[in-house]
Amino acid sequence: MFPFHENASLLCRGVGGVDEGRGPLWPPAGAVVGAFKSLVTVSWRNHHKSIGLPCNRHLWQRDYYEHVIRNEDDLHLTREYIVNNPLEALLQQERRYEELKKAKMPNKR
């Protein structure tokens, strides 16, 4: 994991996803994501308070991207994205650094 980005996969099992008479066998993805964000935020704030650091910024963006994996090919592509994503972010950071460095250098003619 790297700053400002989190990937997660949820596996939901159950025949049809509904228990007759009781409703869904698992909570909606939004409820799971909301609970995760809440637990992490509370833990983060408690930690910062315990060491005397201010914690006055938001940890999460308001929305999130949700994708339902429907087959093995999609699962493979999703796993590949998650594995390669931190490297891609690092490469983008390096490119931005090099661009800034070039922009600050005086022109040599």
Specify the number of domains making up the chain.
Answer: 2
What is the pLDDT, as a whole number, of residue 17?
Answer: 59
pLDDT band at 26 (very low <50, low <70, confident <90, very high): confident
- pLDDT recorded at residue 93: 83
Residue 109, pLDDT > 60, answer no
Residues 60 and 87 in one domain: no
Tens of pLDDT, residue by residue over 76-88, are 988 888 888 878 7
On whether both 17 and 62 belong to a single domain, the answer is yes
Domain identity same for 74 and 54: no
Q: For residue 97, give its domain range.
A: 69-109
Residues 7 and 57 in one domain: yes
Question: Using one digit for the tens of pLDDT, what is the confidence trace for 50-70?
Answer: 999 888 777 887 777 788 888
Q: Higher confidence at residue 26 or residue 91?
A: 91
Are both 13 and 60 inside the same structural domain?
yes
Q: Extract long-range pairs of 92-97: CB within 8 Å, 24+ residues apart.
A: none
26 and 55 housed in the same domain = yes
pLDDT of residue 42: 92
Same domain membership, residue 53 and residue 2 = yes
User: Quick one: 74 and 27 in the same domain?
Assistant: no
Residues 39 and 18 reside in one and the same domain = yes
pTM of the model: 0.58
SS (H, E, C) the chain: CECCECCCCCCCCCCCCEECCCEECCCCHHHHHHHHHHHHHHHHHHHHHHCCCCCCCCCCCCCCCCCCCCCHHHHHHHHHHHHHHHHHHHHHHHHHHHHHHHHHCCCCC
56 with 8, same domain? Answer: yes
